[in-house]
Amino acid sequence: MDRLSEIIHGDMEPRGAISFARFMELSLYCPQLGYYERLSNTPGRGGDFYTSVSVGSLFGDLLAFQFAHWIEAARLDLFQLVEAGAQDGRLARDVLTWFRWRRPRLFAKLEYWILEPSVRRRQWQEEALARFAPQVRWFSSWECPPQPGVQGVIFSNELLDAFPVHRLGWDARAKNWFEWAVGWEAGRFAWKKLALNSTSLSPQPTAESLTPGSALWVPIPGELQAVLPDGFTTEVAPAAAAWWPTIFFCLSARTALCAPITVIS
């Protein structure tokens, strides 16, 4: 096993298995070793895939144009652009460059905040944004922003689809959901079925208790559950669902004309 596999295996040993959400979290975000912790895996020519950010500055230019329209409409004396998950800093650089050249008056009022829990990714961002250093600030979680209340725009690019998900399966005979966990068999990772009430993340064991507000909610009506095939699998992301109310509470009431947005490119 490589070092990351050893860490994941060690995490599951006390319980025999871990949720797929935990497996995904470690695979993507384990410090120094996770997929998004390695610069070679960032989108672009040298990575595994392309995004709108990695092919040029146009995407950042268009976002900046829209942000400027909202900020001008709100008539803010000082404002923040808050990017959640800035990866290697390219989108932030494109947005800031546009403001500097196209809206210098607004650029003078701009504070660019980056929510970044990863020490390594923050280092990449600091290098990419060195020429904008006085106007860029970092914070590691929504509990510790540079100041209470955001006057401006909170946005992200391809963030919510990278949140860890739980994989739930349907047992047609028992008329109940189970969780697809990840265990270790014959020297390799393998799927393992777990009753929902056996996990530390979800106290509800029955289909009826999987309702809005529960830890793991499958938004499937009862009449559809009656005809679901055995083994039907879906994914739920409680962390993504919790993200929206968190950022709404961070927005200042003065930014009623602005909005938190998530950009999927």
pLDDT in tens, 86-132: 989 999 999 999 999 999 999 999 999 999 999 999 999 999 999 99
* pLDDT higher than 50, residue 255: yes
Is 224 found in the same domain as 134?
A: no
Nearest residue to 152 (alpha-carbon basis) of 265, 53, 262, 250: 250
* pLDDT higher than 70, residue 1: no
User: Does residue 204 contact residue 60 with C-beta atoms inside 8 Å?
Assistant: no
Q: Is residue 202 part of a domain?
A: yes
Question: What are 107's two structure tokens?
Answer: 């650029």
Is 251 found in the same domain as 157?
A: yes
The number of folded domains in the chain is 3
How far, CA to CA in Å, does 52 sit from each of 17, 38, 49, 61? 37, 20, 10, 11
Is 172 found in the same domain as 152?
A: no
Mean pLDDT of 201-221: 46
Is 117 found in the same domain as 80?
A: yes
Predicted confidence at residue 180, as pLDDT, reads: 95
Q: Is residue 216 part of a domain?
A: yes
Mean pLDDT of 162-179: 91
Q: Which amino acid, 112?
A: Y
Is 149 found in the same domain as 103?
A: yes
Predicted confidence at residue 80, as pLDDT, reads: 94
More confident residue, 145 or 183: 183
Is 147 found in the same domain as 106?
A: yes
Inter-helix orientation angle 119-128/90-102, to 10°: 30
Q: Is residue 134 part of a domain?
A: yes
- Say how far apart CA 63 and CA 81 lie, in whole Å: 11
- Say how far apart CA 22 and CA 48 lie, in whole Å: 23
Question: What are 263's two structure tokens?
Answer: 């950009």
Q: Is residue 47 part of a domain?
A: no
Is 149 found in the same domain as 67?
A: yes
Q: Is residue 93 part of a domain?
A: yes
pLDDT category of residue 253 using cuts at 50, 70 and 90: low
Predicted confidence at residue 33, as pLDDT, reads: 94
Give the chain's mean pLDDT: 84
Give the domain extent around 27. 3-41
Predicted confidence at residue 124, as pLDDT, reads: 94
Q: Is residue 27 part of a domain?
A: yes
Phi, psi (degrees; rounded to nearest 5) at 264: -110, 115
Is 77 found in the same domain as 139?
A: yes
Predicted confidence at residue 8, as pLDDT, reads: 96
Is 10 found in the same domain as 122?
A: no
Predicted confidence at residue 258, as pLDDT, reads: 52
Q: Is residue 46 part of a domain?
A: no
Full-model pTM: 0.83
Q: Is residue 48 part of a domain?
A: no
- Say how far apart CA 80 and CA 96 lie, in whole Å: 12
Is 198 found in the same domain as 133?
A: no
